[in-house]
Structure 1
Amino acid sequence: MSEIERYFEPEGALAQSIDGFQTREEQLALAQAVEAAIAKGGTLVAEAGTGTGKTFAYLLPALCSGRRVVISTGTRTLQDQLYQKDLPLVRQALDLPVRTALLKGRSNYLCLYRLDRAELDGRLESREAAADLQAIRQWASRTRTGDIAELSDVPAEQPIWIRATSTVDNCLGQECPQFGECFLMEARRRAQEAELVVVNHHLLMADMALKEGGFGEVLPAADAYVLDEAHQLPDIAAQFFGLNFSSRQIMDLLRDVTADYLSEAGDVPEMTPAIETVRRATQDLRLALGHGKRREAWTEVEDDPQVADGLDALEAALSELQSLLEPLAARGKGLESSHRRAQELGALLGRFRANEEEGSVRWFETHAQSFLLRLTPLDVGAPFHRHMERHPAAWIFTSATLSVNRSFDHFRRRLGLDEADELQLDSPFDYGNNALLYAPKGLPAPNMPAYDQAFLREALVVLRASRGRAFVLFTSHRALRHAAEWLRERLDYPLLVQGEAAQHVLLESFRQQGNAVLLGTASFWEGVDVKGSALSAVLIDRLPFASPGDPVTRARIDHLRRNGGNPFVDFQLPNAVITLRQGVGRLIRDERDTGVLMIGDPRLTTKSYGRQFLNSLPAMARTREISIVRAFLESEETVE
């Protein structure tokens, strides 16, 4: 018996140290595969169904390996859970003195220099912002890490954090007067010295993009990388291997230029009108891009003379600002940084307009008062694979949803994983007895006007049978808003709607009330964990195909078609299957959980490709009869 096997034994170290630990064959199989991959420096693609216990399965061999390991998770919330909860449990059980570190992106750490500047500036948007700034100052005197997640009184979404954290653009680096006390630099130092570092995918991809561009690195070189929730990697990588130019970057620059100019110069009368010209040009370009929220291909606006004039004016204004800052750069580190940033923003805008990068799509996004211009690569497999080749190590990709129709081909193709060992482990949960898939009969096609109403009528029957206790997941905000309005008049249970409160507030209310119905879109399809009887049904309105109107989706479809591929088979269908599997995964989160899954979309049973969706779901009983759904939920109530 290997050391790994002994740890997972019923009387082993994990069982003796962790309450409720149970040995699972699937967990041991994953741990052994991870151990082998780390030992030989190979690539492993491992799917582990819900309940496998994959976190312990990769933490244990990582800690035992004697190698430097970087573990990356899908979100900062999961990152904190892994580092604050799971890692200490396993390390204590094994009694291993392994040095560990938690590292996040720079915007997650308080910047003492910018906090000082914000207080000196004094120009805050509201009394609430002033109160938040005071709370941050009080916390700054006692925090040891500077991780803004510690300060629950001021959530990370609050606008004041923009003033109290740094970005790559405005960080002064070693020239900062507070460099010796910098929380970010201290976190990076600990990461460099650690044997196991916990990061998130956004930081990992940012680090890869820096190295891809020939710049320095943030993360230490490692012997092994374990990438959890790996199904998210292709889309996150596309953000970082592309180009992003935003009005927020410009406004942040103007705020800093104003403060730096007043404190370090102040004798160039042309500076104030130049700043105002950039501000006005930014606002004019936002107006030229249209009203409301938009997310469209650049081709929709590139021939608009107002947009062209807006770009010309902004480019000229940035150039003028950069020229004024150039002779002032030697007067202070703030002005030197502002000069560099003005140059870089001008260069970014020039690259976006030139559109000389093949295999990328230009698109834009607008919000009420802001805009983003993006250049996104359509294939991240090549740069991702190049990075793996330049940094030989063990690469372990794991998630509960990597396969489509029992195949990893789609995931491997998107990340350029030509050679990899594969492991597929089904969930140890008893889906056959504990879950029921309901596909209602007689619903119209989902593109018909009558569909939404027909789905809601069927959903209401299930929600009454389940006595609330349900998630209803939608593929669009429009459908969600319609459902909220329709159900409020008919539902006898508490209704919680995404957007009416923060996600963590909605989830806590859902758990506490015990009979609520929660309506959600994309962010509730994954990473949401509700165990027990509070959740007994998950209802999904449509098969989650990405909107063909989305500019990146449309460009990928066109790119595949031009290169002889089949966009539906090669891209749209497999992506939808993985997204559906994530939504379905909300239903059974514990071995005692039971529940009904309703998928309203008739294409599941009427289209030939519906079989791929069904084959990719856990093996559970299926029905098209509401009477069987009622009987299942009644029997569940009896067991409770």
Structure 2
Amino acid sequence: MTQQVTSYFQPDSALAKALPGFAPRPAQTEMAAAIAATLRKKGQLVVEAETGTGKTYAYLVPILKSSGRAMISTGTKALQEQLFHRDLPALRDAIAPDKQVSLLKGRSNYLCIHRLEQAQAQGNDLSLAVQKQVIEVKRWALRTEDGDIGGLSSLPEDAEVLPQVTSTVDNCLGRDCPSYDDCYLVKARKRALEADIVVVNHHLFFADMALKDVGFGELIPHADALVFDEAHQLPDIASQYFGEALGSRQLSEMAQDAKTIYLTELKDLRQLDKAADKLLGSLRDWRLAFPIDPQRGNWRQQSQDEKIQAAAAQLTENLEFFREVVKGALGRSQDLDTLYERCVQFIHIWQLLQNTQRTGYSFWFETTPRHVVLHQTPLQVADKFGSYVRESEAAWIFTSATLAIGDDFGHFTRLLGLESADTLCLPSPFAFSEQGMLCVPRFLPQPQQREMLDALVQITTQVLDANPRGGTFVLFTSHRMLQLVARQLENLTERPLFVQGTTNKRELLADFITAGNGVLLGTSSFWEGVDVRGSALTCVIIDKLPFGAPDDPLLQARIEDCRMRGAEPFTQVQLPPAVIALKQGAGRLIRDSGDRGVLIVCDQRLVTKPYGQLFVASLPPLRRTRDLAQALDFLKEINGETSA
């Protein structure tokens, strides 16, 4: 099989004829051969393939040419859709036209016909804005074929109506639903069961893994091969799904669903409406017991606060009263019966999260302006995930542009318990030393000093002067610094300014690319998974090394756990994810063989601290300078080319 696979990466292959602009790349061929060998022996392979390697085709060709069923999991829904709608169809038609391919998303991405009917039945009990949105959803529902909410472009991504017309594991009626035979989610899962290749995302994979662990069945069909793209995200996502979380939003939605049942089905059950109102009131008091400003904190410590204990006790009492009212009406409504099961499960998790003395977990909370979420996150997932991999009879492929620290994969394989995985590190074909420059400007303040804001604004304005025709990313490690810089830049430049949070990520990026010489200010979500080619992005400025916030409760717990195991927390816990994150941010700059640009890292620690060498060694081999004027001259040179 290996020889057959590598033959597709030759200049005269079917692949070359089918894909315009295809050119053989040695690293791509090497990766495809290694994956073919792993599929054959049902092994495990971890591949770092730098930007420009062509890793997508490198794993798709062997998967398409192998027998058996495969699952491909991506880091984001955007990448999932690109793979399914663009990359896979072109390849499949060229080399494996008989293969059946399916796209499967999480249930909240599909319209729930039953809940749409419930929303319509509420009529004037909904706000005017939501009533209009329900009408818009109904219009779309008449013409959609797959029920994928992603196709509902006439409403914003965070439209208030969406939770009311989609289902969750908690409120789905399953086979008891009157619309079960027409259910879009059921149809999508059926297509997935019949397909040779299923494209999912990491969140869905781990949701499925967690469900199977407690015996609720299986969403994702059994596969002979599993490929994880953007695999560097897996350890954090696995931690989320192997833990427990409960938020006031979930409890609030349950109470609202109870009110819907009262208004539409059980109009004589006034007690249900009262119990829901009492629960909603105690949820508001619960949020008010926490500081007003949104934050994350240590739940073990915060739970000792008397005000919070009193609010928690009241919430517990009202939650149990709500359960008893629902229990008294069991059998009268299928929706109410499901609501009861949901309430019992929520009470179980709530009680679990009040018992913070258990070891091996981080207990933490986060607040938004209106809600509170409590979390119990395992400090390690290696045992659980590693045994899952070992017990399966499938091949496992993990790939990303950022998995290794230098040339060492130990951090990644240790976190996921991949004890026997083969590893492969493939360099980019790009001529980084000719295409780009890395600058760490001299005489910068320390990152935590007040003067850093002015220095960052000054460097940004100098870059904009030298880069009039090209686009600029300014990437931050905190929302606070982003907002401070944004406020100053508004008065200092007339260039199009795109600030994260002003609209959704997809629109912001599309508008930035269209502008051609815009300035985009973003935090973590723009450090990865963003592909801007050509002169639309010729400079990336990074405010500082992306170490986790020292007051982050999950990080604190991992540091403490590391100390208890006798290891060194900085090198084991804090340094590796920061190196990977900087590598991701730097990877936004050179996306094509024709790209040119400057990367400016505004953090002296890159050159003054011993660990700085590890960061630099993990970055693309760009030309390096400490002289900002030299970097600006290179930008001017690029802009001269752009204007020609």
TM-score of the superposed pair, with normalisation by structure 1: 0.98
CA contact (8 A) 2:70 2:223 kept: yes
1:328 counterpart = 2:329: yes
Q: Secondary structure at the match of 1:622?
A: strand
Contact 1:15 1:22 in 2 (8 A): yes
| Structure 2 residue matching 1:270: 3-state secondary structure | helix
Q: How does 1:400-549 map to 2 (within 5 A)?
A: 400-467=401-468, 469-549=471-551
Q: Residues 240-251 of structure 1 correspond to what in structure 2 (within 5 A)?
A: 240-251=241-252
CA displacement at 1:263 relative to structure 2? 4.2
2:122, 2:264 within 8 Å by CA — same for their partners in 1?
no
Q: 5 Å matches for 1:9-20? A: 9-20=10-21
Distance in 2 between the 1:351 and 1:593 partners? 52
Counterparts of 1:300 and 1:294, CA distance in 2: 14
AA of the residue aligned to 2:131: A
- Answer yes or no: is the 8 Å Cα contact 1:264–1:335 preserved in 2: no
One-letter code of the match for 1:44?
L
Is 1:436–1:623's contact at 8 Å kept on the other side of the alignment? Answer: yes
TM-aligned CA deviation for residue 369 of structure 1: 1.3
Are the equivalent residues in 2 in contact too, given 1:238–1:377 (CA < 8 A)?
A: yes
- Aligned mate of 2:587, from 585, 588, 591: 585
Q: In structure 1, how many angstroms separate the alpha carbons of the residues matched to 2:85 and 2:480?
A: 38
| 1:43 corresponds to 2:36 | no
Change in 2 beyond 3 A, CA 1:194/1:482: same
- TM-score (ref. length: structure 2): 0.97
Offset of 1:631 from its aligned partner? 2.9
User: In structure 1, the residue corresponding to 2:437 is in which secondary structure?
Assistant: strand
Cα distance in structure 1, aligned partners of 2:635 and 2:295: 42
- Farther-moved stretch of structure 1 (448-457 vs 234-243): 448-457
Partner of 1:625: 627
Conserved in 2, the CA contact under 8 Å of 1:381 and 1:414? yes
How do residues 354-369 of structure 1 correspond to structure 2 at under 5 angstroms? Answer: 354-355=355-356, 357-369=358-370
Question: Is residue 255 from structure 1 mapped to residue 256 from structure 2 by the alignment?
Answer: yes
Report if the CA contact (8 A) 1:230-1:398 is conserved. yes
Identity %: 44
Q: Which consecutive residues of structure 2, in runs of 5 or more, have no partner in the other structure?
A: none
3-state SS in 2 of match to 1:8: coil
Provide the rounded CA distance (Å) in 2 between the counterparts of 1:270 and 1:125. 21
Instruction: State yes or no: 1:390 paired with 2:394.
Output: no
> What is aligned with 1:223?
224
Distance in 2 (alpha carbons) for counterparts of 1:125 and 1:584: 47
Q: Kindly indicate whether the alpha-carbon contact (under 8 Å) linking 1:443 and 1:455 is maintained by their aligned counterparts in 2.
A: no
Give the letter for the 1:181 counterpart.
Answer: D
The letter for the 2-side match of 1:613 is F
The residue number in structure 1 matching 2:180 is 179
**AA aligned opposite 1:453:** D
Q: How far apart are the structure 1 equivalents of 2:157 and 2:495?
A: 32
8 Å CA contact 2:262–2:270 kept in 1: the answer is no
Distance 1:124 1:536, change over 3 A: farther
Counterpart in 1 of 2:616?
614
Q: Residue 185 and residue 357 in structure 1: after superposition, are their counterparts in 2 closer, same or farther (change >3 A)?
A: farther
Tell me what 1:375 maps to: 376
What do residues 570-600 of structure 1 show as CA deviations (whole Å, max 9, x unaligned)? 0111110000000001001111000000001
Rate the CA distance shift 1:154–1:503 in 2: closer, same or farther, 3 A.
Answer: same
| Contact 1:149 1:155 (C-alpha < 8 Å) held by counterparts | no
What SS does structure 1 have at the residue aligned with 2:330?
helix
The alignment partner of 2:275 has SS state of helix
Which letter maps to 2:145? R
Amino acid of the residue matched to residue 323 of structure 2? Q
* Within-5 A mapping of 1:110-125: 110-123=111-124
Secondary structure of the corresponding residue to residue 406 of structure 1 = coil
| Shift in Å, 1:280 | 1.2
Equivalent-residue separation in structure 1 for 2:628 and 2:342 (angstroms): 62
Matched residues, number:
640
Query: 1:638 and 1:280, CA in 2 relative to 1: closer, same or farther beyond 3 A?
Result: closer
Distance between the aligned counterparts of 2:186 and 2:357, measured in 1? 36
Distance in 1, matches of 2:593 and 2:499, equals: 28
CA distance in 2, matches of 1:310, 1:286: 9
Per-residue Cα deviation, 1:96-139 (whole angstroms, up to 9, x for no partner): 31011100000000000000000101256644332222121111
Deviation at 1:358, TM superposition (A): 2.6
Map Cα deviations across residues 202-247 of structure 1 (whole Å, 9 max, x no partner): 0001011112223311111111100000000111111111111111
CA contact (8 A) 2:471 2:516 kept: yes
Aligned twin of 2:286: 285
Residue 422 of structure 1 aligns to a residue whose secondary structure is: strand
**In 1, are the aligned partners of 2:122 and 2:263 still within 8 Å (CA)?**
no
Q: Is the 8 A contact 2:466 2:633 kept in 1?
A: no
In 2: Cα distance, 1:501 partner to 1:318 partner: 36
Provide Cα deviations, 1:378-428, integer angstroms capped at 9, x if missing partner: 111121112223322111000000011221011111111111000000111
Report the more deviating stretch, 553-562 or 576-585. 553-562
Residue 54, structure 1, aligned to residue 62, structure 2: no
Alignment correspondent of 1:604:
606
Note if contact 1:148-1:156 (Cα within 8 Å) is conserved in structure 2.
no
Q: Distance in 2 between matches of 1:449 and 1:323?
A: 56
Q: Cα distance, 1:261 vs. partner?
A: 3.6
Unaligned runs of 5+ in 1: none
Distance change in 2, residues 1:373/1:157 (3 Å): same
Residue identity opposite 1:147 in structure 2:
D
Tell me, yes or no, if the aligned pair for 1:480 and 1:519 is still in contact at 8 Å: yes
- The equivalent of 2:570 in structure 1 is 568
The residue type paired with residue 342 of structure 1 is C
